[in-house]
Every structure is written in structure tokens, then in C-alpha cells.
Amino acid sequence: MKSLTGVWGWNPQSSPLHDSPTKGDICMTPKVSVIIPVYRCEEFLPACIASLRAQSLTDIELIFVNDKSPDASLSILHAAQREDPRIRVIDFPENRGVSAARNAGLEAAQGEFVGFCDSDDWVETGMYERLLDAAQQSGADISFCRVYKDRESGSENVPLGFETGTRFDRAAIRETLIPAMLSKETDSDELPLSGYTPRNLFRRSVLRGLAFRPDIRYAEDLLFIVEAMLRADAAVAVDEAYYHYRFHSQSVTKRFSEHVPSSHDLSNDAIETLLGAYPECVRRMAIRRRKMAVTAVRNLCAKDAPYGFGEKVKRVRAYMNRADVRSWFAPVRLGQMGRSLALKLALVKYRLTLCAVLLFGYVFDRR
């Protein structure tokens, strides 16, 4: 497996942008379509493009959707497109958001399977060949792999929790796989199996008629994945890391978002409606609601939030006093968990607004 090293300072002389396939290498109907929404990523976009062009699977199309990016991203895309006929560029006349960009890519995709990549991330050379092989060999509609979390301080290979080749039939998808994506088995500071679209490869027929909801502008991935999983006859795990999720100062997860908690609420309501017939999913959703409520409070308290201290207190108090939020925390037994987690849940359960603003804004690290 080839690793693209040094992506923080990409070397254009060694970039696969200089090793274009010939037109004879391109099939009219590709095996895999990869959809890449593009917005404000000119610093990282060349590395993303290069890693996708370097894929060992050459029977691939790369659909970049420029979401009216105000930087040089479109010029970078056009330069790459001139060198590689597998690259298609869709250029929005106005900014429409990541969901609309992905939906445009879905409408344009021709591949038997569809993958996604974010334009500030990059992928290992064998990613799509490996995921395609796993899906085909197991007869699965969806395959998924491990993810690297790349920070300037180093790279973390995040455990998947399932061995390579683990196959989930329709029952196991509902009883095991989807619950693992919703939450840990109990309240925890640890993250569940990430509902992150780019780690997956989907059979395109499973996605027919599905779309990302444009009104969900934050954490929109999981709803789409759950909808796809519920359509699939089988899914298969690849316990190997191929996708590099890059964390940097402009990462969405590192900044205040005006779409939290509203997007969380919309997504969770829709997921609950889909999963109401599956008891373990219902149980895990209660845990997920609490975890995301803590995230919502942290977001309102963030240092980069556009509110003064008093306004933060007001907004946090209003959120904690919501009847649904109070109901999520009513069953919590704080004595059954670690001190740090118990403190975070207690702040919301007992609506300790002032303490929450101080602790989440100045003490707890943001995830």
C-alpha cells in the first residue's frame, strides 16, 4: 500500500498530477465514481487531487463540484482537468452548501459504485480498489474502512471495531452496525463508529433516489448513511486505514457553527423516525441525543462564538431548559460513570448554566 507522505507541504514535482493516464485507459462506464465538494480549500486541494489520480483503480471518474469557492480552487480544478480526462468539474454559480454539492455529484455519477472525498482530505493509493474488491467478493452493497485522523502533530489510525471481511446481512446491519454508528453501548466520552460518508463505498443502485438534505448543514453524513444502510442487502468491513481526515484550523469541527443544534435536531429526528422499529437503535439514539446535547452546549460556549459572555449564558440556559433536552438527561445516573463524563452530563442534567459556559468555554478541550 502506497502512502502519500508530506501532504502538509505537498511537493508538486513528485505529484501524480504529472503522470496522467492515456485516454485508452478510461472506460466509458467507470467502476467507481468519487464525488468531491470543493469550497475554500486551495491550500489542500492539490494533494487531494493527486491522491485521487494516483489510485491503483484506474477505472474511476472524479467528480469535483465547485461550490462557488472564493479562492483559486476552480483554477486548480481546471488545470487538473486538462491533464486527466477522468476529472469532471461541476461549477455552481452560487454557494449552495456541501449537501447540494454532493447531490449534484450523485446526479452526474456514472459508476457502478460511488465514493465521496472531502477536498481538504486525501486517500491512500489502494483505497477504492480495496473497497471495491471487498464489496464484490462479499456480495455487499456497501464497504467501509478505517480512517486516519491527520493533525499537524501526527496521524491517528482510528480503530474500526470489526475485523476485515466481517459481513453484515440485513438483520446485522440493523442490530449491530447501525447501533455502533449511533453511540457507544453506554454514555461515554469516546466516539462511536464514525458516520463519516467518505469512509464508505456505496453501490450506486442503493443510492438511487437518495439525497443529502440541504437543510442539514452540520453532521449531515449519518442520516444519509443510515438511509443507504437500510436499503442494502449487505455491508462489509475493511479493517485497514485508507482515508486521511485532515484536521486544521479551518476544519468545520474546530469552529463554532450556527447550524448547531438545529442541524443535530433535524438529523436525529429523521434518524429516529427511520429506526423506530429496531429496539437497540432506539436505545442507542437516547445515548446519542445526550452526547450531541453536550456538543451543542460546547458549541454555544466556544471561544469563537459570536456572542458575549452574557449572551452565551442566555442561549445555553434556553437550550438546557428545552423540555426534550431535559427528558434526554432525566434517566442519567451519574454515579455509574467516570468523573469527567459525569461532570459534563451533570452540567446539562441540572442546568448549571454559568458553570457550563465557564467550563466548556475555557477548560474542556473541544472535540
Q: What is the CATH number of the domain that holds 39?
A: 3.90.550.10
Beta bridge partners, 32, equal: 60, 113
- Tell me whether the omega of the peptide bond preceding residue 261 falls within 30 degrees of 0, making it cis: yes
One domain, residues 44 and 109:
yes
In a domain, 292, yes or no: yes
What is d(CA 50, CA 77) in angstroms, rounded to the nearest whole number?
11
Q: What is the mean pLDDT of residues 334-339?
A: 91
pTM summary value:
0.89
pLDDT at 260: 94
In a domain, 169, yes or no: yes
Asked if pLDDT for residue 73 goes beyond 90, the answer is yes
- pLDDT per residue over 196-227, tens digit each? 999 999 999 999 999 999 999 877 899 999 99
CA angle (199 as vertex; 328, 292 as ends), nearest 5 = 15
Range of the domain at 95: 26-253
Asked if 249 contacts 288 with a C-beta cutoff of 8 angstroms, the reply is no
Asked if pLDDT for residue 39 goes beyond 90, the answer is yes
One domain, residues 196 and 311:
no
- The candidate with the shortest Cα–Cα distance to 187, out of 327, 286, 323, 298, is 286
Look at residues 191, 226, 253 and tell me which one is the last residue of a structural domain. Answer: 253
The per-residue pLDDT of the chain, averaged, comes to: 90
- Cell 471481511, located at residue: 165
One domain, residues 157 and 268:
no
Range with the poorest average pLDDT among 69-78, 164-173, 245-254, 314-323: 245-254
One domain, residues 241 and 168:
yes
In a domain, 222, yes or no: yes
**What are the DSSP E strand ranges found in 167-219?**
167-169, 200-203
One domain, residues 299 and 246:
no
One domain, residues 168 and 48:
yes
One domain, residues 249 and 286:
no
Q: How far is the CA of 298 from the CAs of 123, 315, 319, 362, in angstroms?
A: 31, 12, 12, 10
Number of domains in the chain: 2
One domain, residues 71 and 205:
yes
pLDDT at 28: 67
One domain, residues 153 and 204:
yes
What is d(CA 83, CA 102) in angstroms, rounded to the nearest whole number?
24
Look at residues 230, 253, 276 and tell me which one is the last residue of a structural domain. Answer: 253
- Model confidence band, residue 311 (pLDDT cutoffs 50, 70, 90): very high
Q: Residue 81: which H helix or E strand, with range?
A: helix 73-83
